[in-house]
Structure 1
Amino acid sequence: MAKVASQDLGSQPIGKILIKQAVPASIGILVMSLNILVDTIFVGHWIGSTAIAAINVVLPVSFFIAALGMAIGIGGSSIISRALGSNNPVKALKTFGNQITLTLFLTITLAVVGLIYQDAIILSFGGKGAIFEPAKVYYTIVLYGVPFLALSMMGNTVIRAEGKPKFAMYAMMIPSVSNLILDYIFINVLDLGMEGAAWATSISYIICFIFILWFFLSKNSELKINASHFGLNRSIVSEIGSLGFVTLARQAVVSVTYLFMNNILFDLGGETSVTAYAIVGRMLMFAMFPVLGITQGFLPIAGFNYGAENYDRVRQSINTAIKYAAILSTCIFIVLMVFPEAITRMFTTDLDVIEQTPSDMRWVFAATPIIAIQLIGAAYFQSIGKAIPALLLTLTRQGFFFIPLILILPKFYGELGVWISFPISDVLSTIVTAYFLNREIKTNLITQPM
């Protein structure tokens, strides 16, 4: 039955299989995003607004280490999808074994290094003034659980590559729900403050890992590996690395963006501006869940059909994914333009933060309706194994446009320059992605008429 599920990627109608893949992915991302959202609300109301800023300082560091797992997962899953599509299960199994070995070694090493140099890292990411101490408490405990998160993120992408989106959804929902329950117990009932928030997060990562381990050991998975698959294969590692580097580079740029944003905003507006950015950042994670779900659902479909040389279905999947994502992103845009103050009040009672955040939020989401092209375009190149264009398009928004803009525009427009950098970079990166995606379709996916 598992094998039939993976073959569905190449046989079912594109709209139907995209929804089948995207809805569970969207629900999983929604629950995970709600977890981050509610976690921030709990921290803001039960500990204080400074605690929100403290978590915002820690997130890019812990997420970068965990993103190694996602990078290895997405890079390897692209190989697995194409291997299953071309009926090569041996390569799929070897790839999965190599993913596990790489994730374990790299994430544990980085977590240890991160703990050794924790003070310097926290300060460099904007953990200054009253933010430093709560950030340090949270950082130390969360890093213990990060390797489990990395393994979970890696395994989740492989589950989806097998054509099992519901189990991938469960893998995202379980730690999110457990984290909220533990947040209530540790913060509100036991009054453990930042330590409670951190332990709730780390324990939820471990619970997620246990579920994913069960999936691969059970009959639900068709990837039954043995000890021989863990030995690193140079060609597979190279392909995982080249494709996974796209995801890692994206998260690295996200982490660098947090570094610049936290420091620039602290200098321009102090803790209030850093807290405003933290709230807007949570909304970026939460509000975009359906669009990200479409993107996640699109990846295995494009990869499988490209591996099967069914280019007509690849083109259909691109067009359908962009259409669905554009409709959803427009709905998100309308909600955030209309209710930014009500959204801000969910996080805090700090009047200074409530006064500042709504206008910032409107600027950040101003170009949301058009970002579907950028997200799907970059994901397409990654799904078919074209690492260089995938990397360049992934870095276009934040690396090539956003970071230079936030370094330049505040010199002329102050803090406003930071916020208007968001829509400008969205528009520019979408134009670039649309050009390269259109060229790719016309030159490499025209063997069959639409």
Structure 2
Amino acid sequence: MDYSKQLGEGSISALLLKFSIPAIVGMVVSALYNIVDRIFVGRGVGSLAIAGTTMGFPIMLIIIAFSMLVGMGATSLISIRLGEKKKAEAELIAANALLLLIALSLALSITGLLFLTSLLRLFGASDDVLPYAGDYMRIILPGTVLLGISFGMNNFIRAEGNPRTAMYTMLVGAVANIILDYYFIFILGLGVKGAALATVIAQGISAVWVLHYFFRGRSFLKICWRKLKPEPLIIRQILTIGFPPFAMQLVDSVKQVILLKSLGIYGGDLAISAMGIIFSISTILVMPVIGISQGAQPIIGYNYGAGQYKRVKETLQSAIAAATSILSVGFVFTRLFPETIVGLFAKNDMRLISLGSHGLLTVFLLLPIVGFQVVGSNYFQSVGKPKQATILTLSRHVLLFIPALLILPRFWGLEGIWRAAPAADLGSSILTGIWLFCELKRLDLNEIRPGNRHERLKDFLF
């Protein structure tokens, strides 16, 4: 069955629903890895253990960054090639992406283990937190290749038009992680080591699932051993298109380092634990928006490659509306029940609940507009425009947030750290709105003069 054919003919609203719901479920399930670990660690070990797992977060972001560099870069190219009816080229892209994921993951794993203690110290780990962070990451890092394969290649399943299978890939791993977390922490008493071990095993299950799908399953795109040879041109294209999300995640890691050190200075280990909880809540709220972006990506990419620009605009508008609605609901819940939400992670620690609740209310002050910014910047990646996408994705994490993070605490202390996030959200959304408005005007002109945009896309990629 030609799964990709539906992308150019089906109802946009139905397609977005079909692709986004599995993507949302998949992304939320993916977020549960981090959230469940923190809940079980917080209740089974204590607040210092939450701070320990939070200290490893910049390293985890670097690992995810490289997975997104390959996974999402290849996904955009695969969607465009399928729109151009070039299945064989799409399969070569998938095979080269698999090689890249394995090579980069192994390099990251070895490097991280060699310099782990130094990195954790650089991030601001105190003597009390360092043992927890070290125990957690020494188990997580050897499993990097499993995360790379499961997270990176899962995007390809969506690109070929089979989002339900992509959802199952994440769901299987997340359910395993929840079960194993409980068993290792509360039954065997392994603490943070148990949380890390549960995560690695669960990621291994997802990785095996993905590999079986493409090598032996019912996938539309097929990966076989003879295609697993490096093609420099394809690798360059993957890395070029995948650079925006990679840069966003990589800089997000740098941002987290600055954030953790600032929290240590102005609030100590308790503030780091509170921010770890806010990270988890933010992840569970923003992941559905990323899922919508990923669900829209193959629809936008396919129709852009096919020159159907009206369908591109309709998909973008629908995705923005859905993302804004989801975060608006999350905004209301966090305003109404902040203590209850934070209390899920803290076992009768009223100081942590009080500090975390206040930080949550401030950090999420402008949460509803984040959906527009994420979907808007992802549009440029979907149509193969990495330069524009890079600037927009980095605006929220570099151009605005990091300066705010460095300046505001000098005036308001810990409160300035909380306020840096909404300031960055506002500025980046304004910038995205201006740029997206100009882009859609140009897209209108290409509807009148078809073919020009498509040729420019080919010139850019090749």
TM-based fold match above 0.5: yes
Moved more, 362-371 or 270-279: 362-371
Please, which of 127, 131, 134 is the counterpart of residue 133 of structure 1?
Answer: 131
Residue in 1 aligned with 2:394? 395
Amino acid in the other structure paired with 1:32: S
Please, which of 149, 160, 168 is the counterpart of residue 147 of structure 2?
Answer: 149
Residue in 2 aligned with 1:431? 430
Distance, in Å, in 1 between the alignment partners of 2:343 and 2:230 is: 51
CA displacement at 1:39 relative to structure 2: 2.1
Q: 1:141 touches 1:195 (CA, 8 Å); kept in 2?
A: yes
CA displacement at 1:36 relative to structure 2: 2.5
Q: 1:183 touches 1:200 (CA, 8 Å); kept in 2?
A: yes
Please, which of 101, 113, 116 is the counterpart of residue 115 of structure 1?
Answer: 113
Post-superposition, which runs of at least 4 consecutive aligned residues in structure 1 deviate over 6 A? none
Residue in 2 aligned with 1:173? 171
Unaligned runs of 5+ residues in structure 2 are 449-462
CA displacement at 1:67 relative to structure 2: 2.7
Q: Deviations over 1:213-261 (max 9, x none)?
A: 1111234212223344222222211111111111211111111111011
Distance, in Å, in 2 between the alignment partners of 1:167 and 1:129 is: 44
Distance, in Å, in 2 between the alignment partners of 1:400 and 1:292 is: 21
Amino acid in the other structure paired with 2:61: F
Q: 1:10 touches 1:304 (CA, 8 Å); kept in 2?
A: yes
Residue in 2 aligned with 1:410? 409
CA displacement at 1:445 relative to structure 2: 3.9
CA displacement at 1:71 relative to structure 2: 1.7
CA displacement at 1:180 relative to structure 2: 0.9
Amino acid in the other structure paired with 1:67: A
Q: 1:246 touches 1:390 (CA, 8 Å); kept in 2?
A: yes
Q: 1:70 touches 1:157 (CA, 8 Å); kept in 2?
A: no
2:314 aligned counterpart, secondary structure: helix
Distance, in Å, in 2 between the alignment partners of 1:147 and 1:35 is: 16
Q: Deviations over 1:259-286 (max 9, x none)?
A: 0111110111111100010000000101
Distance, in Å, in 1 between the alignment partners of 2:360 and 2:219 is: 42
Residue in 2 aligned with 1:26? 24
Pair 1:202-2:200 in alignment: yes
Distance, in Å, in 1 between the alignment partners of 2:275 and 2:198 is: 23
Identity within the alignment, %: 36
Residue in 1 aligned with 2:4? 6
Moved more, 142-151 or 437-446: 437-446
Q: 1:311 touches 1:446 (CA, 8 Å); kept in 2?
A: no
Amino acid in the other structure paired with 1:300: P
State TM-score, norm by structure 1: 0.97
Indicate how the Cα distance of structure 1 residues 199 and 448 shifts in structure 2: closer, same or farther if over 3 A, else same.
Answer: same
Q: 1:66 touches 1:147 (CA, 8 Å); kept in 2?
A: no
Distance, in Å, in 1 between the alignment partners of 2:284 and 2:42 is: 17
Distance, in Å, in 1 between the alignment partners of 2:246 and 2:387 is: 13
Residue in 1 aligned with 2:360? 361
Amino acid in the other structure paired with 1:305: N
Within 5 Å, give how 1:328-367 maps onto structure 2: 328-348=326-346, 349-367=348-366
Residue in 2 aligned with 1:274? 272
CA displacement at 1:116 relative to structure 2: 0.7
Distance, in Å, in 2 between the alignment partners of 1:325 and 1:101 is: 33
Unaligned runs of 5+ residues in structure 1 are none
Within 5 Å, give how 1:286-365 maps onto structure 2: 286-348=284-346, 349-365=348-364
1:232 aligned counterpart, secondary structure: coil
Q: 1:77 touches 1:161 (CA, 8 Å); kept in 2?
A: yes
Within 5 Å, give how 1:81-96 maps onto structure 2: 81-96=79-94
Within 5 Å, give how 1:218-229 maps onto structure 2: 218-229=216-227
Residue in 1 aligned with 2:454? none
Amino acid in the other structure paired with 1:304: Y
1:409 aligned counterpart, secondary structure: helix
Residue in 1 aligned with 2:13? 15
Distance, in Å, in 2 between the alignment partners of 1:227 and 1:178 is: 29
Q: Deviations over 1:37-94 (max 9, x none)?
A: 2221111011111111111111220331233122201001101000001101121011
Pair 1:217-2:215 in alignment: yes
Amino acid in the other structure paired with 1:286: I
CA displacement at 1:353 relative to structure 2: 0.7
| Residue-pair matches, total | 447
Distance, in Å, in 2 between the alignment partners of 1:329 and 1:66 is: 23
Distance, in Å, in 1 between the alignment partners of 2:311 and 2:224 is: 34
Distance, in Å, in 1 between the alignment partners of 2:184 and 2:225 is: 40
Residue in 1 aligned with 2:459? none
Q: 1:62 touches 1:146 (CA, 8 Å); kept in 2?
A: no
Q: Deviations over 1:85-115 (max 9, x none)?
A: 1101121011111101111111101110110
Residue in 1 aligned with 2:451? none
Moved more, 411-420 or 28-37: 28-37
CA displacement at 1:354 relative to structure 2: 1.0
Pair 1:370-2:355 in alignment: no
CA displacement at 1:316 relative to structure 2: 0.6
Distance, in Å, in 2 between the alignment partners of 1:382 and 1:398 is: 17
Moved more, 59-68 or 350-359: 59-68
Output the aligned Cα RMSD. 1.3
Amino acid in the other structure paired with 1:403: I
CA displacement at 1:350 relative to structure 2: 1.4
